[in-house]
Structures are given as structure tokens and as C-alpha cells.
């Protein structure tokens, strides 16, 4: 509010610091308002009488001529108008020759389509630009926020350009040919998928990576259930993915943390459920051709940490007969399905190693020593009550089923989870499967070694802490 009293106070301050009056904010604002008002006054025609010499009859005729002028009118007050929200669509070629495609924070569909002369880019059904193949040297796509879909349609010839794309769901519906390198990254908290239905060909590296998993801190003492899916699927008879190296991976890392004391307990049971699917599949008729090597990997290194301090829970009046440890219960249910598969009719070719792996493992953390890492740590501490239960299903399967492999071959399945339960009552229940297989109908022509390994090194600890009763409580 710029009232007269306030203005006087403000002008006094500017005077004290020696700021010239012409440069003071109040003066500048007044000039801005006046200038805007002058600009908005309507123009009009004003007639001026111009004097002329007398005629021979002694009369001075009045000759009117027109001159442009301005009349005085009431100016509109200066102000800023709020414009309606607009959707920014971005596709342009930078000064460095990079075709940059940027989505929005909404759920976008970004589509690149082959044209006779280059590419059309649409975002959310709106044409964001048409580009000649000669106008760019590489392509970078970032769909930004939301659950975004990126599609490549038609037979796109990149003419030795590099391509990188990042979204949540990526589909190659046509083909991507002639690239120097291809990097497709699907990343999401809950659902990251890459679907390849046509050829991908690059002279350099091809990287297809689906990464899913949210990091969540539970702040209210209520049950929590979540799913996380990361998949790469390559399908279609005759589809070929070719490059100097192929790196095809699916990765899940869901992180859940819940730390509570007795003051936060609003119910007696805390149930945390996390269900993950991590998979790479290479379908019938698909060929993977990596001159120097082929990596096909699924990895889940999620972890859950629950810590409840039951100190202060009132159990008086009932322990003379029986102390119910389940007055406070923490239950973690973790399900992980982690698989890689070369299906019947598929082919993998390399002068190097073809390595398949499916692993449920530990995630390295900078603040935790390697020997203290865990997949689930569920602890109920202090007090007289508390039950901690872990129910885990870990599936790790790597399979070559009726496929043809012309390369050195490694097939690995591994479960290496660490599960800890600590409370007055503590238990771990572990189910699942660890399987690495090359089916008999597969055709393996190895240029080097062939190895198959299934390793289950899961470590489970259940510790029932002792009950110490105060004499006054007996």
C-alpha cells in the first residue's frame, strides 16, 4: 500500500541514502504510469486556422488545414493483465545442431514420424515441428514430468545421427536405422516400459533401459501398498536390434522407510506391501546382434526399513494373566519377480559374450557399510510388546528356451537378499525360485565358454528380544 504517509516515509529513506529523485522507485513508477496513459489515449484530428494575407478586397479568408494532434481523454490506469495458461510445446534445433524435443509436466504423448524429407514431431496431438534430415546432427527427447509415452513411427533413417530419448513408456513401432548410437531410457516411480516392435540399427552402442521404483518415507501410521514395474519387450518376427554393443536392462529399486515411536501409533498393525515386476523378454523371430557383446539383465535391489519404538505403550491391567505381544505388529510383504528370457525362435549373435542375468540383490548405499546392507529390516524396539514379520517371495529366473546363440554365453540367476526381523516375536517367511536354464532344444554355437549358474545366497535373521518386567508391573 503506497499511502501518503507511507510515501513520505519511503521518500525520507531514499533521501537518507542519497538516491536521486529521478531514480527513486516512486518517481519511476509515476513516469511509467504516465507514459502508458499517453500511449493509450486515442488519436484524433484537430483543425487549426492558418493566417493568410488579405485579399484585394480587404478580406482575410479563413483557410482550414488539417494537422494531426491529440485530444485530452481519460487514460486507462496502468496494470498487468493475467493471460490464460498456455501449453508450451517445444521442438527445435539448437545452435549445435541438436534436435531437442521437450514435453511438459503433464501426461504427454510424443510422436516422431518419418516424412519424405525428415521428421515430424507431435506432442499431445499437436504438431511441434517438421524438420529436414539435413538440419540436425543428433536427436534428444525429454518428455519431462507426468506418465509420458514416446513413439517412433515409420522407418526413421537417422543418417548416422545419435538418438537419445527419456520418458516413461517408449515404443518403437516402426524402425530406427542408420544411427550412430541409440539410447532409450524409460524411467518412472511405478511403470517404466520399452516395447520394440521394429528394427534398431546403430554403428555404435544401443542401450535400452527401463528403470522403475519410488523412494517413499511413510509419515502416517497406516498401511501402505505399492507396485513397481520395469520391463523391456522386444517382439516381432524378423525384428533385429544391432549395434557394436547391446545393453538391454530392466531395473527396479523401490525404497520404503517408516520410523515411528509410540506417540505416532494410531492403530495396532502396520502393513507394508511392495510388489515388483522386473523383466526383459526377447521374443520369437527376434535377433540380437552385438558385435562386441550383448548384455540382457534384470535387477531388483529394492529395500524396506521399518523401525517402531513401542516404549510407552500402556499394557497395565492385563499382564497378570497374559501379555499379548501382538498389541503392536509390523508386517512387511515383499514380492519380487525378476526374469530374463531368450524365447523360442530368437537369436543372439556376437563376437564377444552374450550375458543373461536375473538378480535380486542389495543396493549399495554411501551411508551404510557393505556388511550392514539389507533388503528388509523390520524392527520393533523397546517396550513390552511388538511383533515383526517378513513375508518375502523372491523369483530370479534366467532362461534360454529354444533360442539360437552364436557367441560365448553366460546365464546367471541370483537371489542375494538380506532379511531381518526383530521384536518380542520375530519371523521371516521366504518363498520363490532361483533358476538358470538352457533348454535342450536351444542351439548354442559357442565361440568361447558357456556357463550356467543359479545362486541363492539369501540371509535371514529373526531375533526375539527378551522381555524385562519392572517389579511394579508383576
Per the document, the length of the chain is: 474
CA–CA separation, 401 and 214 (whole Å): 33
DSSP for 22-48? GGSHHHHHHHHHHHHHHHHSPEEEEEE
Provide the pLDDT for residue 56: 46
What 3-state class would DSSP assign to 274? strand
pLDDT band at 50 (very low <50, low <70, confident <90, very high): very low
What 3-state class would DSSP assign to 74? coil
Beta-carbon count within 10 A of 97 CB = 11
What 3-state class would DSSP assign to 464? strand
CA–CA separation, 359 and 278 (whole Å): 10
State pLDDT tens for residues 244-286: 999 999 999 999 999 988 777 777 789 999 999 999 999 999 9
What is the overall mean pLDDT for the chain? 83
Q: Which residue has the cell 516381432?
A: 236
pLDDT band at 52 (very low <50, low <70, confident <90, very high): very low
Which helix H or strand E contains 196, and what residues bound it? strand 191-196
Q: Which residue has the cell 534428444?
A: 140
CA–CA separation, 311 and 324 (whole Å): 15
CA–CA separation, 123 and 140 (whole Å): 14
* 157-164: average pLDDT: 92
Beta pairing class for 118-123 and 109-114:
antiparallel
Angle made by CA atoms 182, 183, 185, in degrees to the nearest 5: 150
Contact present, 219 and 243 (Cβ < 8 Å): no
CA–CA separation, 341 and 170 (whole Å): 20
CA–CA separation, 45 and 69 (whole Å): 6
Beta-carbon count within 10 A of 268 CB = 14
State pLDDT tens for residues 65-115: 443 444 444 445 545 454 443 344 488 999 999 999 998 888 999 999 999
Contact present, 294 and 243 (Cβ < 8 Å): no
Provide the pLDDT for residue 173: 95
Q: Where are the beta strands (DSSP E) in 253-372?
A: 255-261, 269-282, 287-300, 303-309, 329-342, 347-360
CA–CA separation, 355 and 393 (whole Å): 25
Which helix H or strand E contains 334, and what residues bound it? strand 329-342
pLDDT band at 133 (very low <50, low <70, confident <90, very high): confident
* Confidence check: pLDDT of 32 > 80: no
State pLDDT tens for residues 309-367: 877 655 554 444 344 555 788 999 999 999 999 999 999 999 999 999 999 999 999 98
Q: Where are the beta strands (DSSP E) in 371-403?
A: 376-381, 387-400
Beta-carbon count within 10 A of 23 CB = 9
Amino acid at each position: 500500500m503506497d499511502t501518503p504517509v507511507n510515501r513520505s516515509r519511503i521518500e525520507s529513506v531514499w533521501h537518507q541514502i542519497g538516491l536521486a529523485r529521478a531514480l527513486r522507485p516512486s518517481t519511476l513508477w509515476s513516469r511509467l504510469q504516465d507514459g502508458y496513459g499517453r500511449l493509450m489515449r486515442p488519436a484524433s484530428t484537430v483543425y487549426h486556422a492558418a493566417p493568410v494575407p488579405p485579399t484585394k478586397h480587404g478580406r482575410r479568408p479563413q483557410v482550414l488545414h488539417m494537422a494531426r494532434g491529440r485530444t485530452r481523454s481519460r487514460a486507462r490506469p496502468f496494470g498487468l493483465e493475467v493471460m490464460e495458461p498456455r501449453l508450451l510445446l517445444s521442438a527445435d534445433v539448437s545452435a549445435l545442431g541438436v534436435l531437442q524435443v521437450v514435453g511438459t509436466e503433464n501426461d504427454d504423448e510424443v510422436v516422431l514420424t518419418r516424412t519424405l524429407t525428415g521428421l515430424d514431431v507431435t506432442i499431445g496431438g499437436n504438431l511441434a515441428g517438421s524438420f529436414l534430415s539435413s538440419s540436425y546432427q543428433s536427436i534428444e527427447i525429454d518428455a519431462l514430468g507426468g506418465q509420458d509415452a514416446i513413439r517412433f513411427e515409420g522407418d526413421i533413417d537417422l543418417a548416422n545421427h545419435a538418438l537419445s530419448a527419456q520418458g516413461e513408456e517408449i515404443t518403437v513401432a516402426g524402425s530406427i536405422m542408420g544411427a550412430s548410437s541409440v539410447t532409450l531410457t524409460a524411467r518412472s516411480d511405478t511403470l517404466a516400459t520399452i516395447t520394440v516392435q521394429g528394427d534398431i540399427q546403430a554403428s555404435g552402442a544401443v542401450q535400452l533401459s527401463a528403470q522403475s521404483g519410488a523412494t517413499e518415507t511413510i509419515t502416517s501410521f497406516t498401511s501402505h501398498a505399492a507396485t513397481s514395474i520395469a520391463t523391456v519387450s522386444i517382439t516381432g518376427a524378423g525384428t533385429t536390434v544391432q549395434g557394436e554393443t547391446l545393453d538391454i536392462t530392466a531395473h527396479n529399486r523401490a525404497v520404503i522407510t517408516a520410523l515411528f515411536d509410540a506417540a505416532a501409533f494410531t492403530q495396532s498393525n502396520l502393513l507394508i506391501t511392495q510388489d515388483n515386476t522386473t523383466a526383459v523378454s526377447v521374443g520369437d523371430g527376434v535377433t540380437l546382434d552385438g558385435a562386441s557383446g550383448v548384455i540382457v539383465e534384470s535387477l531388483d535391489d529394492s529395500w524396506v526399513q521399518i523401525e517402531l519404538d513401542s516404549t510407552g505403550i500402556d499394557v497395565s491391567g492385563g499382564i497378570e494373566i497374559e501379555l499379548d505381544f501382538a498389541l503392536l505388529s509390523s508386517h512387511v510383504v515383499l514380492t519380487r519377480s525378476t526374469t530374463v528370457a531368450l524365447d523360442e525362435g530368437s537369436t543372439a549373435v556376437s563376437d564377444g559374450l552374450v550375458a543373461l542375468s536375473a538378480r535380486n540383490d542389495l543396493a549399495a548405499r554411501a551411508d551404510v557399510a557393505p556388511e550392514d546392507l539389507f533388503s528388509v529390516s523390520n524392527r520393533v524396539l523397546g517396550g513390552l510388546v511388538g511383533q515383526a514379520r517378513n513375508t518375502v517371495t523372491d523369483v530370479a529366473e534366467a532362461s534360454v528356451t529354444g533360442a539360437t546363440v552364436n557367441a560365448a554365453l553366460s546365464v546367471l540367476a541370483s537371489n542375494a537378499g538380506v532379511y531381518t526381523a526383530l521384536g518380542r516375536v520375530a519371523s521371516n517367511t521366504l518363498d520363490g525360485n532361483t533358476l538358470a536354464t538352457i533348454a535342450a532344444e536351444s542351439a548354442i554355437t559357442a565361440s568361447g565358454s558357456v556357463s550356467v549358474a543359479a545362486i541363492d545366497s539369501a540371509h535371514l535373521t529373526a531375533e526375539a528380544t527378551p522381555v524385562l518386567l519392572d517389579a511394579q508391573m508383576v
